[in-house]
Structure 1
Amino acid sequence: MPVLVITGTGTEVGKTVTTAAVAAAALAAGRSVAVLKAAQTGVAPGERGDADEVARLAGAVTAGELARFPEPLAPGTAARRAGREPVRPQDVAEAAAKLATEHDLVLVEGAGGLLVRFDEAGGTLADAARLLRAPVLVVASAGLGTLNTTELTARELRARELELLGVVIGSWPERADLASRCNVADLPDVAGAPLLGALPAGAAALAPAVFRTAAPGWLAPRLDGTWDAAAFTAREAPAPLVA
């Protein structure tokens, strides 16, 4: 798995902090890591972007982005409004492939969800994953509504014959509500793929050294971690309601 594409079921689901955790766990396992942000929006020149945040939390990664646009919009829209050339799936694939010749693992982080448009032709992160023949990791929210968006994302990946590696819950609350606890058992079913981790809410606020030490404990062995999905589900999923 030299390249892993990381997408979310939407915005603000914990995609960047999950990317950082995957990077930190891989580094702890002795692998060299590069992180590529396909298109950064809503960030001014000189301002720290998502790739910089991954590097801050994870440590010694090669961090880069292909383009940044000032308005917090879909990349294609942001590029058009800025009067600039968009990022295209081929650009993402070529940059990631080059990084893969120099690193053990390349993490390609998208913007928003899987089908957010990069350019006027409707190119998406899914198209970049197809060009790379890379598996996709889906970051989902914990609470009500996540089953629908996760299943839609999983169905689209299958329709495009892309490999869904698994699902990570991007922010697991300290006191989870009933919907979140039920979703622990339901997410793998609707995704048709394993649950590969759950990051605690507020993980990005941890000191980098603490984050790097803790990250493997949030992720399954498939992602160089020690997290046990069965144990987590047994602990968090509610008992059936008995009439």
Structure 2
Amino acid sequence: MKTITFFFFSPFIIVHFLMSCPLCQSTNAPSHYYSDKKREYLQCNQCELVYVSPEFLPSKEVEKQEYDLHQNSFEDEGYRKFLRKVLTPLTPFIENMKFRELRGIDFGCGPAPVLASMLEEEGVRMNIYDPFYAHNLSVLEQRYDVVTCTEAIEHFHTPHVEWALFNKLVSPGGVLAIMTKRVLDKARFANWHYKNDVTHVSFFSEETFHYLAKRDGYSVTFPASDVVLLRKR
């Protein structure tokens, strides 16, 4: 007599099995990384991105409500000091290229594009883009010497889309400057305040940036614990 074995998979397991990485698009099943009372976090086994499981992603309405609470302004010296963490390592690149006009874009500028203003002061001709506050798609059809993305990449639900766009925006020899706090390890992730913001859904590590740099033709440096510079070869 033949024995027939039936395997039952919950929809939760099936979704994870079929899911592709939101950054590198690997179709290998992700690993469980961490769970708390609010969300589950997965990790890609190829690019090592840690990300919120899709069923816990916030709606656009929730995102907008959270972003409207931010009170950054051009007059806030504390915020300008914070942004100098990314501006300072960009300065040598800007100085070395002053023989011609540099063009830049601040991607995810928020309601107050302070960094764009600071780069303008350094002689970079800036555009801005933000899906909520500066939704001008025409600026995404150009190429730039400097592309900045400060405290925005961790909000991306489908970072492979924005990363592909970054690859198009950055001119050969140009710089992509990103500010985001980086994943270190599981033990520190458990007590990491950064993950508790409901709009923070994609968490990068040095390994993730090294993977992207090697795949897409960048040299990469880490001038601060929350800053990465990628120079397109």
Structure-1-length-normalised TM-score: 0.38
- Structure 1 or 2: larger strand share? 2
Bigger proportion of residues as helix: 1
Structure 2 length-normalised TM: 0.39
